Amino acid sequence: MATLRLGDTAPDFEQDSSVGTIKFYEFLGDKWGVLFSHPADFTPVCTTELGYTAKVADEFAKRGAKVIAVSVDDADSHRKWISDINETQNTTVNYPILADADHKVANLYDMIHPNASTTATVRSVFIIDPNKKVRLIITYPASTGRNFNEILRVLDSLQLTDSHSVATPVNWESGDDVIIVPSIKDEAELKAKFPKGYTVVRPYLRITPQPNK
């Protein structure tokens, strides 16, 4: 299949998981989605990632996002692995892990990169908005654990852009100043949207306090 790109519609699918059959669109409902892949079960880096994600599950929920993982092993293996994750990471995995033994999801989301491995999925993350559009794709090598605080940060940024017509600058964290998108030029609209005021550094670079803080 063609490579999935930002703005594309996220492919729907039905697949077995650690909690039974998942119909992806039905699972997401009107929420944001975070789909992240793992090369295989009982792998050390993945174990730490899945454990940490369980620990910050409430942070995703606060943002109206549902988390779902995928690995190429079967559901029985996932359930055994979850016991290990819970024990070694001192947490409780409370989200599904898709059982993608037939590589259905891996192929739909272009998670197998043959020059890296012909069977194991790369370490990919997809953020999908409530309209089922792909808004973020990050791909890591199998040996590098992901930063889920960064994924939460990007989710905050995307939601802020959608709700307040702003972009977020380098190293932005929630609560920092933001950038007014260049498409807003009308003075009355600027005053209405940004009652806290804004600073014009350059005509294309206008800084304003985060609107929802």
List, by residue number, the catalytic residues.
Answer: 46
Q: How many CB atoms lie within 10 A of CB 189?
A: 11
